[in-house]
Structure 1
Amino acid sequence: MEGGTFLRLGADPPTLDPHLTTDVNSAIYAVEIFGGLMTIDKNIAIVGDLAEGWDVSSDGATTTFRIRPNAKFHNGRSVTAGDIKWSLERAADPATEAFNASVFLGDIVGVRERLSGAATEISGIRVINDRTLTITIDAPKPYFLSKLTYPVSFVLDRENVESGRKWIFEPNGTGPFRLGEYIPGEVLLLTRFEDYHLGPAKLDAVEFLISGGNSMLMYENDELHITGIPLTLLAGVSDPSNPLSKEIVLAPPQFDVDYFGFNTTQPPFDDVKVRQAFNYAVDRKTLASTLLQDLMVPAQGILPPGFPGYNPDLKGYDYDPVKALQLLRESKYGTGELPRITLTLPGSFGAAINPSIEAMLAMWEENLGVEISILQTEWAIFLQDLHQNRFQMFGGLGWIADYPDPENFLDVLFHSESSNNQSDYSNPQLDVLLERARVEMDETARFELYHQAEKIIVEDAPWVPLWHSNGGSVLIKPNVQDYFLFPLVIPKYRYVYFTE
């Protein structure tokens, strides 16, 4: 049936401006309120959003997009090619300070000139008429359309944006839902956009309860339609004698990786042997099977199992405390005391540390004799400092795929010129491989380049890759249908409906 409000817990987003979005919390809302030329559908395929079709030139560099005639902003105004051009130029305007613009739009001819302030327009974007525009990239690249699904490429209404700083609380988007209400710390309400060009959502609204609470208790009191199951309660909820066991839905593995990162330009992590030592000193397998109850799979590298380009033969860091200590002693810091190490984590000052992080800190102390200080900062501030490479060591982080392509992990996170290279890591040999992979159109050859690149990254150890999610269990009310549990962040609430 149509109608009804879907209730779930949520979190305050660091931003609701899609061009400034860099995190999952912000993206969850951005993909529902806004949209761009392309999107990812429920089959994890790259499909047209505002674009009803496109043609690629014979040289593979220029794509001509045709805008859907029924594509509208939430105020009813038709979306034009000019809106898309203005939006991309706004994202690349240095005054916008869109952190991810260079990464996700940098293939477009003229974007780097716009980002540097040398140009006021993007030369590679041409408006042909209200419903047609062309985008030219610097070379044919197989993942280009995928990048246009990222929020930094979403279309905005110029009049709305230029109306004042509070525009983001009344955004005029093109997505399946409007922003109905947002009270920070309390609630964020999305309401159905009736004229959505891909067909209106079946739900009236989605309400994210940001004020928090005991999610299991709220679920049992019918205050939520979905909740995760805490590890401590999983066995009891799964017991067939528990009525809730019939409402368990198994979630697929996420396309993600959790990790610790090192600033490779700061002591002691400017020495690769120190970084390798920290990797060997962590018993991922035991932590995954005990503390995490096999809900995570120990990471051998960066790409998650099942992801395009995943290399099942990649050899990572098995637990070897003897080798770890040997490497530390062989490093340039091995003859004296290590510099003081501070691990920065997202979270409120004094908040409880995740037990798995505490366990790893204990392993580093026991196996390497290293005592690490903890510093916690609020999430929004943490992201700002992370983007400025201000941390010596950082953790409590994960990366989830934005689109199904290995470029989104290996190039976006580890190329020396990427703004998302949080470790300040640089290897010219790696850069060459990644740049070759960008323009390799044969998938087999391309994935082989990524296999070589990932091997170098693992050996250089700018991260301690920890694990990938192994799926899990959630509770979903029996009257909820088509709530798809996707392995990455894509628009999903337009599919959901209630049976009663």
Structure 2
Amino acid sequence: MPTSSFRRILSQRVACSHAFWRNSLSDRAQTSWLLHCTVSVGNRKTGSRLARTMRHHIRLVLLAAMILLVAGCGASADLAAPAPTASGANERSALTQSLTIVGGGAFPITLDPAILRDAESSFLSRQIFRGLMRLDNDLIVAPGIAAAVEARPDGLLYTFTLREDATFHDGSAIDANSIKRSFERAADPALAGGDDSALPARIYFSDIAGIDDYFAGRSNSISGIRVVDPRTVEFTLSRPAANFLYKLTGSPAAIIDVDHAVGSDWWKTANGSGPFRISEVSAQRIVLTGFDGFYAGAPQLRRITVLFGSAAAQPLNLYEAGEIDMTDVPLGALDRVLSPADPLYPELQSEPQLSTSFIVLNPAVEPFDDPMLRKAVAQAFDRTKVTRVMLEDRVRVADGLVPPGILDRQWPATPVPYDLAAAHVDLESASPHEIRPAFYGSGVSVALAEVLGRDLSLESEAIALEWSDFSNALIGRRLPAFSLSWIADYPDPANFLEALFHSRSPDNYSGYSNPEVDSLLDKAAVEQDPDRRAQLYLQAQQQIIDDGVLIPLFHDIAYTLVKPYVHGLTLTPLGIISLESVWIGEH
């Protein structure tokens, strides 16, 4: 999903969030969920990790069991931190278990998991609400509110058994009816003013049988979700989906108390289902407190303070002053912080990220409905200079949309080459237009407008909007051209290609529509062979680039400072997923 950090990356020259490739992101792990799986969790509240076995190049079979997971496993900000013990827990309880972080600058538009649109809001919402499934710190799908899931061999029926100890924050049980009602509420077109095409559920729930009838109002319930008994719920799919369980880890699938979700600001006093509850909301901060009744065990942190607006300004200064406990590093400060002689050097983490920043030229809005103009713009802009000059090689040049490492493979593409002479020829072939090209965003949009005026004699303008205005304009598909940074919700190419460029996707902010691309993406969605599936996505990616609507820029690298007394914080390819394992040591 989009992240407002793109504005900071290119206006302040920073690279932010966190990532690291792991072998767990293999083709087989991504696609073998669907044909037969049994996943269960034990009675221990220390968490769980998925163990996997696969059969390759035939109908894939997954037989998975959960094993105990010690706190702070994986790539951690505290690699030497000891595993929790009873005496250690008592020692920590005597310390102030409080974490303070910045929330990305702009106050969230909403934390309603059914309609939120950006990565920063998704992170906060995930601490308050949880779903049937979750991503663990190795980005493997694991049970959440579900205690077990069984999939029929044909991949068309999933049966979820719910945990007996899963409750909302008020102590009321989360039962199968809560699951069904939460899904139906997330798919209710009324949440988007009657426009179901604007709902994230349009793509996250697209595989569930009966969803189209529900969206269209032909049915008052989703027929593919059936309550079997209070602890059992069945999902019937209209087609096998290689990433169905991954989709259940996304925000739209988070379970909420529907009776409490009244009005647009209900989330500020939410009766949530996650490890933390909201205790305070003000103009410049949100405060979360630990929920002792969380099914996986009470979080060690008792308080999380998230700062916004002017309270979050100059986060590196706040970090050095000890006012916040972690922060991204501005590019201008990296040379200093990367020096082993700098006192902050031991606290720095740098990792590649599963994200892509890019420019979209909207083929549905003038003047970029002209393919020759789109081609001329792409050829006149040396996109590699964004990485080499603007960002000083602190990020990785992107040739395509899908980041390397997803499905444990590369995703090569052939972008439009920089060719100024050819750009002049194509511009001469473009239809006359009275509308001046406008590029929305900061940093790279400004550079692009300057380059086009200088090298192509094409007058254009760069327009910066507040994040809320920019987000609403994206959803309305009103922008002729824009720069955007997209971080994966789950590690699968569909979360980039299908989400951003399928004609039926609510996140297709350009209104791009190509039946050939739709067909390739639809075939990839049901393909069980990982190599054939990858080839379909590669074809779709190249066709999108060839259509002149996408100019890839870079894949981000995280530069993050974490205080040495913050333990159990795991940085993943998707950033920080959860905070319930974090605890504060002596300092």
The TM-score normalised by the length of structure 2 is 0.79
Q: 1:242 aligns with which of 342, 346, 355?
A: 342
Asked if residue 259 in structure 1 is aligned to residue 346 in structure 2, the reply is no
Q: Partner residue of 2:53?
A: none
SS of the residue corresponding to residue 377 of structure 1 reads coil
Asked if residue 209 in structure 1 is aligned to residue 307 in structure 2, the reply is yes
Q: Partner residue of 1:6?
A: 99
**CA distance in 1 between partners of 2:440 and 2:313 (Å):** 26
1:56 alignment partner AA: A
Q: Partner residue of 1:148?
A: 248
Contact 1:38–1:47 at 8 Å: present in 2 too? yes
Q: Partner residue of 1:348?
A: none
**CA distance in 2 between partners of 1:337 and 1:167 (Å):** 47
1:446 alignment partner AA: R
SS of the residue corresponding to residue 213 of structure 2 reads helix
Q: 1:289 aligns with which of 382, 388, 397?
A: 388
Q: 1:63 aligns with which of 150, 153, 158?
A: 158
Instruction: Say what the alpha-carbon RMSD is for the aligned residues.
Output: 1.8
Q: 1:344 aligns with which of 440, 443, 450?
A: 440
Q: Partner residue of 1:20?
A: 115
SS of the residue corresponding to residue 448 of structure 1 reads helix
Q: Partner residue of 1:350?
A: none
Asked if residue 424 in structure 1 is aligned to residue 524 in structure 2, the reply is no
1:300 alignment partner AA: D
- Alpha-carbon deviations, 1:381-401, whole Å to 9, x = none? 322221121111222x21110
Q: Partner residue of 2:36?
A: none
**CA distance in 1 between partners of 2:184 and 2:575 (Å):** 25
- Alpha-carbon deviations, 1:192-223, whole Å to 9, x = none? 11121122222112111112232222112110
TM-superposed CA distance for 1:310, in Å, is 5.2
TM-superposed CA distance for 1:293, in Å, is 1.7
**CA distance in 1 between partners of 2:312 and 2:576 (Å):** 23
**CA distance in 2 between partners of 1:165 and 1:14 (Å):** 10
Q: Partner residue of 1:159?
A: 259
2:285 alignment partner AA: V
Q: Partner residue of 2:47?
A: none
**Which structure 2 residues correspond to residues 262-277 of structure 1 after superposition, within 5 A?**
262-277=361-376
Q: Partner residue of 2:473?
A: 385
Q: Partner residue of 2:482?
A: 394
- Alpha-carbon deviations, 1:45-69, whole Å to 9, x = none? 1111111111112321110001111
**CA distance in 1 between partners of 2:417 and 2:301 (Å):** 48
Change (3 A) 1:369 1:337: farther
How many residue pairs end up in the alignment? 484
Q: 1:303 aligns with which of 402, 416, 426?
A: 402
Structure 1: runs of 5 or more not aligned: 346-352
**Which structure 2 residues correspond to residues 45-444 of structure 1 after superposition, within 5 A?**
45-97=140-192, 99-162=199-262, 164-184=263-283, 186-210=284-308, 211-250=311-350, 252-308=351-407, 311-331=410-430, 333=431, 336=432, 339-345=435-441, 353-354=442-443, 356-395=444-483, 397-444=484-531
Contact 2:406–2:491 at 8 Å: present in 1 too? yes
1:497 alignment partner AA: W
**CA distance in 2 between partners of 1:212 and 1:38 (Å):** 32
TM-superposed CA distance for 1:166, in Å, is 4.1
SS of the residue corresponding to residue 352 of structure 2 reads coil
SS of the residue corresponding to residue 308 of structure 1 reads helix
**CA distance in 2 between partners of 1:302 and 1:321 (Å):** 23
**CA distance in 1 between partners of 2:191 and 2:269 (Å):** 19
2:132 alignment partner AA: L
- Alpha-carbon deviations, 1:53-92, whole Å to 9, x = none? 1111232111000111111111111110100100111111
Asked if residue 451 in structure 1 is aligned to residue 550 in structure 2, the reply is no
Change (3 A) 1:283 1:406: same
**CA distance in 2 between partners of 1:483 and 1:427 (Å):** 43
Q: 1:461 aligns with which of 548, 551, 556?
A: 548
Contact 2:360–2:549 at 8 Å: present in 1 too? yes
**CA distance in 1 between partners of 2:340 and 2:264 (Å):** 53
**CA distance in 2 between partners of 1:38 and 1:378 (Å):** 34
**CA distance in 1 between partners of 2:423 and 2:409 (Å):** 27
SS of the residue corresponding to residue 223 of structure 2 reads coil
1:474 alignment partner AA: T
- Alpha-carbon deviations, 1:398-441, whole Å to 9, x = none? 11101111111111111112221111111111111111111111
SS of the residue corresponding to residue 542 of structure 2 reads helix
Change (3 A) 1:486 1:65: same
**CA distance in 1 between partners of 2:558 and 2:464 (Å):** 28
2:571 alignment partner AA: L
Mean CA deviation greater in 272-281 or 311-320 = 311-320
Change (3 A) 1:312 1:385: closer
TM-superposed CA distance for 1:273, in Å, is 2.5
Contact 1:32–1:176 at 8 Å: present in 2 too? yes
SS of the residue corresponding to residue 380 of structure 1 reads helix
TM-superposed CA distance for 1:378, in Å, is 2.5
**CA distance in 1 between partners of 2:445 and 2:438 (Å):** 14
SS of the residue corresponding to residue 433 of structure 1 reads helix
Mean CA deviation greater in 170-179 or 238-247 = 238-247
Contact 2:416–2:546 at 8 Å: present in 1 too? no
TM-superposed CA distance for 1:249, in Å, is 1.9
Asked if residue 484 in structure 1 is aligned to residue 575 in structure 2, the reply is no
**CA distance in 2 between partners of 1:61 and 1:187 (Å):** 44
**CA distance in 2 between partners of 1:221 and 1:302 (Å):** 38
Contact 1:110–1:123 at 8 Å: present in 2 too? yes
The TM-score normalised by the length of structure 1 is 0.92
Mean CA deviation greater in 307-316 or 92-101 = 307-316
Contact 2:278–2:287 at 8 Å: present in 1 too? yes
1:454 alignment partner AA: Q
Contact 2:376–2:424 at 8 Å: present in 1 too? yes
SS of the residue corresponding to residue 243 of structure 1 reads coil
Change (3 A) 1:475 1:337: same
Change (3 A) 1:165 1:229: closer
SS of the residue corresponding to residue 437 of structure 1 reads helix
- Alpha-carbon deviations, 1:248-280, whole Å to 9, x = none? 222x21111112222202232112232222222
2:276 alignment partner AA: F
- Alpha-carbon deviations, 1:16-46, whole Å to 9, x = none? 1111111112101111100111111101111
Contact 2:395–2:555 at 8 Å: present in 1 too? yes
**CA distance in 2 between partners of 1:126 and 1:73 (Å):** 21
Change (3 A) 1:149 1:177: same
Contact 1:402–1:489 at 8 Å: present in 2 too? no
2:316 alignment partner AA: M
